[in-house]
Amino acid sequence: MKRPPQQRSRHLSETQNHEQQRCFRYDSVVCCSLLVIHFSMILLDSHNATQADDTAAGSTEVSIAGEPTTEQGGGQQDKKRREHGATIYQQSCQSCHGASGQGTREAFDRPLVGDLSISGLSKLISKTMPEDDPDACVGDNAAAVAAYIHASFYSKAARVRNRPPRIALSRLTGEQLRQSIADLFGHFMKPSVTTDARGVKADYYNGTSKKTEEKRIERIDDVIDFDFGKESPGKEIDPKSYLIHWQGSLKVNRTGRYEIVLRSTCSCMMDFGSDRRELFNNHVQSEGREEFRRSLHLTAGRAYPFEISLYQRKRKTEQPPAKISLSWVPPGGTQEVIPKRHLIPERLAGTFPLQAKLPPDDRSYGYERGTSVSRQWDQSTTESAIEFAEIAIDELYPSFRRNNRKVSDENRNQLRSFLNEIVEVAFRGKLADSTRKLYVDQQIDLSEDDGEAIRRVLLLTLKSPRFLYPTLDSDRSRSQRAANRLALVLFDSLPSDAWLVNAANKNQLQTDKQLTNAAKRMVDNYRTQAKTLAFLHEWLDLKTTEEIAKDKDKFPEFDADLVQDLRQSMDCFLEDLLESESSDFRQLLQADWSYTTKRLENYYGSAWSYADPEKGETELAPSRQDSNIHVGVLTHPLLMSNLSYHRNTSPIHRGVFLTLRTLGRVLRPPNASFTPLSPDLHPELTTRERVQLQTGEVNCQACHQQINSLGFALEQFDATGRFRSTERKKNIDTTGSYRERSGTEVNFDGARELADYLAESKDCHLAFVESAFEHFVKQPIAAFGSETAEKLTQSFRDSGFNIRELLVTIAVTASRQPLPDAKKP
Amino acid sequence: MKSTTTRRDFIRKLGISGAAANLVLTLPSLGGEASGQSKQRVVFVFSPNGVIPKHFWPDDEGEKFELKRILEPLAPFKDQLLTLRGIDNRIKGDGDGHMRGIGCLLTGVELFPGDVQGGSDTPAGWSMGISIDQHLSNKLQANTETQTRFGSLEFGVMVPDRADTWTRWSYAGPNQPVAPISDPYQMFKKLYGQVHNRAMLASVLDDLSEDFKKIERQVSNEDRRMLQQHVDLVRAVEKELQAELKQGDSPQSESETATASHAVPQLPPNVQEENDNMPQISRMQTDLLVNSLMSDFTRIATMQITNSVGNPRMRWLDIDEGHHTISHEPDSNEDAYEQLIKINTWYSEQVAYMAKKLKETPEPNGDGNMLDHTTIIWTNELGKGNSHTRNSIPFVMIGGGLGFKMGRSLNYDHQPHNRLLLSITEAMGHPEKTFGNPDYCGDGSLTGLS
């Protein structure tokens, strides 16, 4: 349902706006209408199938004088009114809107759905319908039609009634496949641990051999970036002959392609992922060979152990000055020394990053879903299986043999038990005899060579629906099914940690208490942290920040490095918040500080200076507090510049973002595609005035009344997110308002007041809970009961808006659901 | 596809390889045939630690000469054999004799300053230039008529798993050593992996669709639709693979299949890279090498047996001590002397096995056998082990790939080996003015080879 890009670009080619043509990304969202189409389609779809909100069957609606307060139930009078409405609809509306509001190709091709109340709808009909004669249906007639369509198909509640949401069978998404394979590997390693310590463990030796008595320094280095020159790296170390040994793990929070860059003028070696995987071998120092680069696809929520040895060797000839640095180019970013917060001073257990390319998943519902299969996808599962088989042959099986040296190898027993174990983890539970025979024994018998046997078994196993469809488990015990869902929801993976597998085997995941304890244990894991970060990126619409770029003439200093700092500032803030004791959702909107760097301060001004200038920070660190400039993530320049044009702000983008994502409201698609008015044609107008001019029409106002008055509140933050108080020499007007679902009108002035309102807004809380649920569970929330959203929101509120606790509740809710429809004939 | 069961069966199925593999893998096709020009191939073989000259070089020059003990295994190919005595590796600069022995052998140029210290000379890094095999590969790949799937293949036999100046002789350019593949299974994967995996997939998919049926029972009608789509996809892929494999088995292409099935060697299972398995690994690698030449996967190959200072213990010859250790013994140590002859004779046997395999294989779509179109160049890092001399580096050629006049024993008077490298590239149709250090190229390619 997502609008295909070519369609968007076609639309754009028809536009004349120069700004748009300069940069496609901004083009694609330039026109409010387009954005609305795009976003609202997402939302409408999901609501079609799923949402049950304030207007759930039988619940109260906003009432206007003399109108009934309920839409479905009600008295005889209501029924009559609806019948009356139905008659009018059939006579005057149906020819354009279709019998059940689905639209007609000739006249109005979009479904008649939305979230206006009956009264709002009634007013709109009075004013505008039918199009050729708006006066033909007014007053009571309009109210009757409104009541009829609202109850029959227009409202969310009606849609839920018409098409009850269900938990659909889903295959693993791309990310879930990556994570599952990583855990399949991890199952054979030491259990994963988390630690707050950051940096790299370093041992400095006098001389080039690792003799304990020659170890001179043992410490944690923040990063690896040294220029020792011809000097000694430390006390009592011969400057002509030494060895430095660094050990650590690289903590990766986003899945994507990374380039690892090691620079060294000395002999050096680096392994990565496991001690058997050499990344760089520069054992031989050779003049002019000083940079080593490797591009790797890394999986989020994982820590990759690594080890670097640097040798400065004494020799008869001239020694080069010693220099070494470990850098990376993160996905979409620029090259930098790997920052401390991504380094753990400990070699953690081996980790396997799948390199196979996986096709993107359907995201039309606002979250990734595995609900279709394609040739390309099938091919990618083959490639993944083969890739995993190779690492199993190279690393897992040899280590399994070492650990089971004493077990008899008669009848290829070791191979058999190794493969049996791997298939059990992949299939999430013990194997039935017939399954074992097919997947393990039969395949072993067909291959004389052990490697061949492993390849066969893993190809069959990782292409099997038993692996690819994680919830095809109606034949499993209740606890096993719960474990499968906990792992799927929190890790995007399968149960592989020994404690979880054991709990499932012992059937100890039955009660809510047991589930809650398990979920609590999992929620602090790197895997859940990474998934939560991905969710917040989604919630903040920050998936595409790699492409942010601004007009070079107007904002010459807004470059790729600055954007990289902004992304780190944002991520660091989000991670901090998630890891904090209270992980308070409201801080997302209300915090009065941010993470900053020198570069950010130079660009964004003194509110972005370090909180503690005494510390002499050079890295990312907390900024000063300033409640007008730092308004949670809402005014963060990354978000503000993402929701702007190339040269100017876009109150419409910001307003749509707030309406759809932050407040979870539905917007009707716009009447047509519009090109924004060019600022050059209206040099006297501020952005606010220009937007008002363009969207002033009655038809536009139905939505733009809401969109604009939210977006205007952020007008003090320019296209790069820099604070300003005037535009075109006029003071910026940041007053705005919002009409809640409940009908109450709220007013605010500026970002701070808006944020303070949002932090306490029921609409905002519900929207956050729903998006979180659907991101984590990848199923419509209404499929878990029409009251689930409301209940989870209540418990979220009761917990003091603790995000981690919300995740636990979500995981427990999703895990105790039995697989619906199972074993139906 | 249930019949594709054993490894043997599978390999039989890979009978498609020569012809159909190109199709399957959409590889650049066999260009040389189209032009009607005969293919030229070169294989460089390395063995370490010098030889015993007295039992290596023929006494007589010219066409009438007797083979000495070490070269005796090559007797069946005497009329296709050329020994070149008096070719010196004159490259000086950083690095010890062994390092320069291997690192400058195919490159003809100095090593960079570096920190690898060996013996009593100065330390060094990697070579400053490209090696002749990679140079030829670049030349052949630049021309669609001589282009092949890999351009060059680098085989190793028991090359230790570490990257240093002693373990590399092939260079893609300055400071760019090329690692040989010593594990035959890894090489097999490189050569036939894709076809192999497709064949395996075909044989596995049938089992998979069976299991789908069982699983379908677990789900609702609505969900079953998705599984149905999935299983249809699996069936479609299975069908295509079957058709692909059948194509290789069809009677029309029987002659091709016969040749092609010969093209995919059958590796014995579970052979570990261990000292005592060296003879077997050498066989396996040679089989893979000959077969990849036959399938025209490449026309340039190197086979590096161990490494500079290589120290295999040839227990299969009843020699318990390592080769390098023995090579330092003075000539007066009769036991060591005799052992070194035996060891070098064993290397000679490996070369002979390669020559034999090539000779037994008819040239695909051409005249004669493959040895007629291939030249094996067997060489060494040193002239003699205990003196570490790089004068009279062993250069023995077998086969007709370069078009030299064979069946001769030649003796040059201390000519730099750069001139020989120039002769090789010239014979391959790509003459150069210099190769490696120009100081040693003044007189151009060697005379008297053709």
Q: Which residue of B has its CA nearest to A820?
A: B220
| Whole-number pLDDT of residue B109 | 97
| Whole-number pLDDT of residue B23 | 36
Min Cα distance A788 → chain B (Å) is 23
Taking CB atoms and an 8 Å cutoff, what residues of chain A touch B165? 284
| Pairing, β B374-380 against β B41-47 | parallel
Check whether residue A338 and residue A408 sit in a common domain: no
State the sign of the Cα–Cα–Cα–Cα dihedral A78, A80, A85, A90.
positive
For residue A748 the two structure tokens come to 């605010």
Domain membership of residue A259 as a residue range:
200-344
**Does the pLDDT of residue B29 top 50, yes or no?**
no
Neighbours of B276 (CB within 10 A): 12
Check whether residue A540 and residue A657 sit in a common domain: yes
Min Cα distance A398 → chain B (Å) is 12
Q: Is residue A706 part of a domain?
A: yes
Check whether residue A311 and residue A230 sit in a common domain: yes
Min Cα distance B217 → chain A (Å) is 7
Check whether residue A701 and residue A607 sit in a common domain: yes
Instruction: Give the pTM.
Output: 0.81
* CA distance linking residue A1 with residue B422, whole number of Å: 64
Min Cα distance B177 → chain A (Å) is 11
Q: Which residue of A has its CA nearest to B236?
A: A375
Which bin fits A507, alpha (ψ -120 to 50), beta or left (φ > 0)? left
Pick the closest to residue A153 from A106, A65, A94, A92 (CA basis): A94
Taking CB atoms and an 8 Å cutoff, what residues of chain A touch B183? none
Binary contact (A449, B5; C-beta < 8 A): no
What band does B421 get if pLDDT is binned at 50, 70 and 90?
very high
DSSP state of A628: T
B 98-117 residues inside an 8 A Cβ radius of A: 111-117
Using a CB–CB cutoff of 8 Å, tell me whether A626 touches chain B.
no
Q: Kindly report, residue by residue over B85-135, the tens digit of the pLDDT.
A: 999 999 999 999 999 999 999 999 999 999 888 877 889 999 999 999 999
Binary contact (A285, B114; C-beta < 8 A): yes
DSSP state of A131: T
Mean pLDDT across chain A:
86
Q: Is residue A802 part of a domain?
A: yes
Neighbours of A137 (CB within 10 A): 23
Nearest-CB residue to A169 (from B175, B205, B223): B223
Domain stop point among A732, A760, A788: A760
Binary contact (A289, B125; C-beta < 8 A): yes
- C-alpha count within 13 angstroms, C-beta hemisphere, residue B371: 22
* CA distance linking residue A33 with residue A220, whole number of Å: 54
Place of tokens 């190809």: A459
Which bin fits A146, alpha (ψ -120 to 50), beta or left (φ > 0)? alpha
If you count DSSP H runs as helices and E runs as strands, how many of each does chain B have, helices first? 12, 9
Cα–Cα separations (whole angstroms), residue A479 to B24, B183, B377 = 47, 45, 67
Higher-pLDDT residue of A403, A8: A403
Check whether residue A215 and residue A305 sit in a common domain: yes
| Whole-number pLDDT of residue A523 | 95
| Whole-number pLDDT of residue B249 | 53
Check whether residue A441 and residue A493 sit in a common domain: no
For residue B272 the two structure tokens come to 């570990």
Q: Is residue A144 part of a domain?
A: yes
Check whether residue A425 and residue A509 sit in a common domain: no
> Do residues B149 and B247 make contact, with C-beta atoms less than 8 angstroms apart?
no
DSSP state of B95: S
- Say what percent of chain B tops pLDDT 90: 72
- Say what percent of chain A tops pLDDT 70: 89
Min Cα distance B162 → chain A (Å) is 8
Check whether residue A439 and residue A340 sit in a common domain: no
> Do residues B158 and B47 make contact, with C-beta atoms less than 8 angstroms apart?
no
* CA distance linking residue B380 with residue B97, whole number of Å: 12
Taking CB atoms and an 8 Å cutoff, what residues of chain B touch A287? 112-114, 125
E strands present in B51-150: 81-88
For residue A277 the two structure tokens come to 């995987």
Binary contact (A289, B234; C-beta < 8 A): no
Check whether residue A572 and residue A664 sit in a common domain: yes
The size of the A-B interface in CB pairs under 8 A is 148
What band does A549 get if pLDDT is binned at 50, 70 and 90?
confident
Cα dihedral A205, A208, A211, A214, rounded to 10, equals: -40
**Does the pLDDT of residue A251 top 60, yes or no?**
yes
Min Cα distance A115 → chain B (Å) is 29
Using a CB–CB cutoff of 8 Å, tell me whether B272 touches chain A.
no
| Greatest CA separation for chain B | 88
E strands present in A163-318: 200-206, 215-221, 225-229, 242-252, 256-264, 267-272, 278-282, 291-298, 302-312
Q: Is residue A600 part of a domain?
A: yes
What does the DSSP assignment read for A721-762? S-B-SEETTEE---EEEEE-TTS-EEEEEHHHHHHHHHHT-H
Using a CB–CB cutoff of 8 Å, tell me whether B219 touches chain A.
yes
Cα–Cα separations (whole angstroms), residue A470 to A102, B57, B106 = 35, 70, 56
Q: Under DSSP, is residue A624 helix (H, G, I), strand (E, B) or coil?
A: coil
Taking CB atoms and an 8 Å cutoff, what residues of chain A touch B227? 169, 465, 469
* CA distance linking residue B71 with residue B68, whole number of Å: 6
| Pairing, β A730-731 against β A726-727 | antiparallel
* CA distance linking residue A41 with residue A34, whole number of Å: 11
Place of tokens 């083959």: A382
> Do residues A71 and A61 make contact, with C-beta atoms less than 8 angstroms apart?
yes
Question: Which CATH number belongs to the domain containing residue A134 in this structure?
Answer: 1.10.760.10
Total domains in the fold of chain A = 5
**Does the pLDDT of residue A194 top 50, yes or no?**
yes
Domain stop point among A283, A316, A344: A344
| Whole-number pLDDT of residue A546 | 66
Helix, strand and coil in chain B, % to nearest 5: 45, 15, 40
Q: Is residue A687 part of a domain?
A: yes
> Do residues A82 and A94 make contact, with C-beta atoms less than 8 angstroms apart?
no
Query: What mean pLDDT do residues A356-361 have?
Result: 91
* CA distance linking residue A106 with residue A94, whole number of Å: 12
Binary contact (B218, A823; C-beta < 8 A): yes
Place of tokens 């730099």: B416
DSSP state of A220: E
Q: Under DSSP, is residue A294 helix (H, G, I), strand (E, B) or coil?
A: strand
Q: Which residue of A has its CA nearest to B167?
A: A284
Using a CB–CB cutoff of 8 Å, tell me whether A290 touches chain B.
no
State the sign of the Cα–Cα–Cα–Cα dihedral A503, A506, A507, A511.
negative
Q: Kindly report, residue by residue over B167-216, the tens digit of the pLDDT.
A: 999 999 999 999 999 999 999 989 998 888 888 999 899 889 889 988 98
Q: Which residue of B has its CA nearest to A463?
A: B208
Binary contact (B117, A313; C-beta < 8 A): yes
Check whether residue A669 and residue A688 sit in a common domain: yes
The rounded radius of gyration (Å) of the Cα atoms in chain B is: 24
Place of tokens 């034949």: A475
Pick the closest to residue A583 from A823, A768, A312 (CA basis): A768
What does the DSSP assignment read for A592-622? S--EE-HHHHHHH-GGGSBS-GGG---SSEE
| Whole-number pLDDT of residue A640 | 96
Structural domains present in chain B: 1-31+193-272 (no CATH), 38-183+273-440 (3.40.720.10)
Q: Is residue A773 part of a domain?
A: no
Binary contact (A466, B227; C-beta < 8 A): no
Using a CB–CB cutoff of 8 Å, tell me whether B228 touches chain A.
no
Q: Under DSSP, is residue B396 helix (H, G, I), strand (E, B) or coil?
A: strand
Taking CB atoms and an 8 Å cutoff, what residues of chain B touch A475? 218
Q: Which residue of B has its CA nearest to A825?
A: B220
What does the DSSP assignment read for A524-579? TSHHHHHHHHHHHHHHTT-TTGGG----TTT-TT--HHHHHHHHHHHHHHHHHHHH
Cβ-Cβ contacts under 8 Å for B87 (sequence gap 6 or more):
B392, B393, B395, B412, B415, B416, B417, B419, B420
Least confident of A179-183, A376-380, B67-71: A376-380
For residue B340 the two structure tokens come to 């070194």
Cis before A134? omega within 30: no
Q: Kindly report, residue by residue over A634-682, the tens digit of the pLDDT.
A: 999 999 999 999 999 999 999 999 999 999 998 877 767 778 888 888 8
Binary contact (B112, A475; C-beta < 8 A): no
* CA distance linking residue A550 with residue A562, whole number of Å: 11
* CA distance linking residue A477 with residue A499, whole number of Å: 17
> Do residues B211 and A464 make contact, with C-beta atoms less than 8 angstroms apart?
yes
Cα dihedral A26, A27, A33, A35, rounded to 10, equals: -50
Binary contact (A464, B113; C-beta < 8 A): no
Check whether residue A215 and residue A327 sit in a common domain: yes
> Do residues A160 and A782 make contact, with C-beta atoms less than 8 angstroms apart?
yes
Nearest-CB residue to A456 (from B164, B204, B223): B204
* CA distance linking residue A30 with residue A20, whole number of Å: 7
Q: Kindly report, residue by residue over A408-444, the tens digit of the pLDDT.
A: 888 899 999 999 999 999 999 999 999 999 999 999 9
**Does the pLDDT of residue A253 top 50, yes or no?**
yes
Burial B139-172 (b: 16+ CB within 10 A, else e): bbbeeeebbbbbbbbbbbbbbbeebbbbbbbbbb
Query: What mean pLDDT do residues A581-599 have?
Result: 96
Check whether residue A602 and residue A720 sit in a common domain: yes
Taking CB atoms and an 8 Å cutoff, what residues of chain A touch B234? 378, 463
What does the DSSP assignment read for A383-397? HHHHHHHHHIIIIIH
Higher-pLDDT residue of B183, A158: B183
- Say what percent of chain B tops pLDDT 70: 88
* CA distance linking residue A98 with residue A83, whole number of Å: 17
Min Cα distance A824 → chain B (Å) is 6
* CA distance linking residue A444 with residue A769, whole number of Å: 48
Using a CB–CB cutoff of 8 Å, tell me whether A447 touches chain B.
yes
The rounded radius of gyration (Å) of the Cα atoms in chain A is: 30
Using a CB–CB cutoff of 8 Å, tell me whether A178 touches chain B.
no
B 151-190 residues inside an 8 A Cβ radius of A: 162-165, 174-175, 185
* CA distance linking residue A8 with residue A157, whole number of Å: 31
Q: What are phi and psi of A761, to 5 degrees?
A: -80, 130
Q: Is residue A22 part of a domain?
A: no
Q: Kindly report, residue by residue over B377-387, the tens digit of the pLDDT.
A: 999 999 999 99
A 292-311 residues inside an 8 A Cβ radius of B: 311
Pick the closest to residue A564 from A263, A295, A342, A330 (CA basis): A330
